[in-house]
A and B are shown apart, each in its own frame.
Chain A
Amino acid sequence: MILNGVEIRDNFAEAFPMVGTRLIVTADTPEWALTAGRTTTGFATSVIGCGCEAGIERTLSPEETPDGRPGVSLLIFAMDFGSLKKVVPLRLGQCVLTCPTTACYAGVEGGKRVPLAKTIRYFADGHQISKKIGEKRFWRLPVMEGEFVCDEDTGSVEGVGGGNFLILARSRAAALHASEQAVAAMGKVEGVILPFPGGVVRSGSKVGSKYKGLFASTNDAYCPTLRGTRPSALPPEVGSVLEIVIDGFSFEAVSEATKVGVAAVCAVGAEGGVVAVDAGNYGGNLGPFHFKLREIMKDSAGGTA
């Protein structure tokens, strides 16, 4: 399959079940909401080293938030519910509670409950105030700046982590430009985040290593500087490869994000230096979710098989 001169390889991304939640963080200004969002989702690129994967889903206008102030919606994913219950209050306590003017609300209604203020309310040392009207409880914590308002807990969903595609380009600049276009387009898809820096990974990994104790190591088949020395997946004209990793609330959301992202890369096209789009997997036996690139892109306009 070739779209705008870009080869869509007959490959699939292999993804895993993850448990995710959404937080709505608001602040007095959009800038401070974004600061809180970036801090809370910082150091959360991969569960392997960070304990969770997190990102800013999108920014919210004052009309969309519970308290009528500008905000951001954040998605946080972990491998299981137990770890999610640990990482969310930690990040809430260190990154949202501490950030000037913020408040934090539940962004998911259903599913198992992930504690928010339920855990960090004790920071208020007995001065915390609870309000439960209807079914929802929120807390007010007196802090030096004023009051921190936070919902009791938030819901969770069984999501999908590790959807991905690889952008094979002639040069580093071309790969970077194509990936930036993809990230911008994918930001409009609801229910997904791209947990890596700026949404892009430059150091995709393979499973295992020659060194004992390392679970993952550089994906040598896609390293352009190793071409010829190792079995390579790169044709001679490829000079740089970047990967985009997607975590989402559902298979459909990740699939949609993949479609939008690959379409944006193809729009840059061969003229923009993109050679091919590929995907990362482990043979298909490890992860239950398979995102087959050609199937996802089959009804994209202008395609030739």
Chain B
Amino acid sequence: MSGVSLKPRAPFAARVDLSGITPAVTCPLTLRELEHLPVPHGGRSVKLAELFFIEGAPDGVLLIEIGDERLDGVGAGMTEGELIVDGRVGAWAGRGLSGGVLRIAGDAGDFLGAEMSGGRIELAGTAGARAGAAGSGSRRGLSGGVLKIGGNAGPRAAERQRGGLIVIAGDAGEGLATDMIAGTVSVAGAIGPLAGRGMKRGTIIAQARPELPAGFVDTGVHELVALRLMARRVAELAGPLNGWTSARRLVGDTLMGGQGEVLVPG
């Protein structure tokens, strides 16, 4: 089969771990092989066909027709192709994604795009806690690629982010970009308290000055050519940076020796 479509047979009785079920894995398989693919379901492993009706789809695409908040690890470890979810997903969607595109039409649980290193995630709804962050025990969060969140993001989005770009069209919860190492996060809505605590480097693009920890220093308003460059070169930032030629640059977290920055309209 070149493309695969999965349609849940019934609402899931337990959490389903779909990590590893990526277009690169499913597309080369025959229908029969797909049906027997083992999937963790609650405490046991079941065959993919026990949970889903399996049908064909356009080449290179893995389509999940009805999303469910009990579907964890959707698109985790993806390296290529396109995974589309027509609905919501659980935790760890797109974890460690390094290539390809993951599109989710609904909301996502915690750890969306955690530790992803390339490719692209587009979420239409809201994200749970720690989007683009590091998993438990990991030192580095999202390090490459683009994570787009159409709604709000929960607490600690971009925690320990190491690179890449996170664009949040709604609000960001408490502790945005905590311990951020590098990279860029743009928030169109409001930003919760304690953003940027422990930030080493990296950039937060905000539309209004957020409440920042004491370690942030106001360097004043500056005309920055980089704003114009990013607005033209990075399609995702064309909106957030539209019309910006100057910005107020707040640097921190200086209490930790950090040189990160928060840019707000100047």
Contact = CB atoms under 8 A, between A and B. Distances in A.
Partners in one complex: yes
Interface of A: 26, 66-69, 103, 127, 129-134, 136, 138, 140, 146-147, 149
Contact of B228 (A68, A131, A134, A146): A68
A133 B145 CA distance: 7
A152 to B, nearest CB: 13
Interface of B: 144, 146, 163-165, 182, 184, 201, 203, 222-226, 228-230, 232-234, 237, 259, 261
A129 B201 contact: yes
Contact of A133 (B165, B201, B223): B165
Given A131-B184, A133-B164, A103 B229 contact: yes
Given A129-B201, A130-B182, A133-B184, A66 B233 contact: yes
Contacts of A140: 224, 226
Nearest to A132: B163
Contacts of A138: 226, 229
23 contacts: A66-B232, A66-B233, A67-B228, A68-B228, A69-B228, A103-B225, A129-B201, A129-B261, A131-B203, A131-B230, A132-B144, A132-B163, A132-B164, A133-B165, A133-B184, A133-B230, A136-B233, A138-B226, A140-B226, A146-B222, A146-B223, A147-B225, A149-B226
A127 B182 CA distance: 14
Best-surrounded residue of B184, B203, B233, B234 (most CB of chain A within 10 A): B233
A70 to B, nearest CB: 12
Given A133-B165, A133-B184, A146 B224 contact: yes
Contacts, number: 53
Contacts of A130: 182
A146 B245 CA distance: 13
Main secondary structure of the interface of A (DSSP, over half): strand
B164 to A, nearest CB: 7
Contacts of B182: 130
Given A26-B225, A133-B234, 4 more contacts: A66-B232, A66-B233, A131-B230, A133-B184
Nearest to A140: B226
A188 B225 CA distance: 29
A68 B222 CA distance: 18
A147 B223 CA distance: 9
Given A129-B201, A132-B163, A133-B164, A147 B234 contact: no
Contacts of B224: 140, 146-147
The 6 A-B residue pairs whose C-beta atoms are closest, nearest first, are A67-B228, A67-B229, A149-B225, A133-B234, A103-B225, A149-B226
Nearest to B246: A146
A183 to B, nearest CB: 32
Contacts of B165: 133
A26 B184 CA distance: 24
B251 to A, nearest CB: 10
B232 to A, nearest CB: 6
A298 to B, nearest CB: 44
Given A127-B259, A131-B184, A133-B165, A67 B225 contact: yes
B204 to A, nearest CB: 13
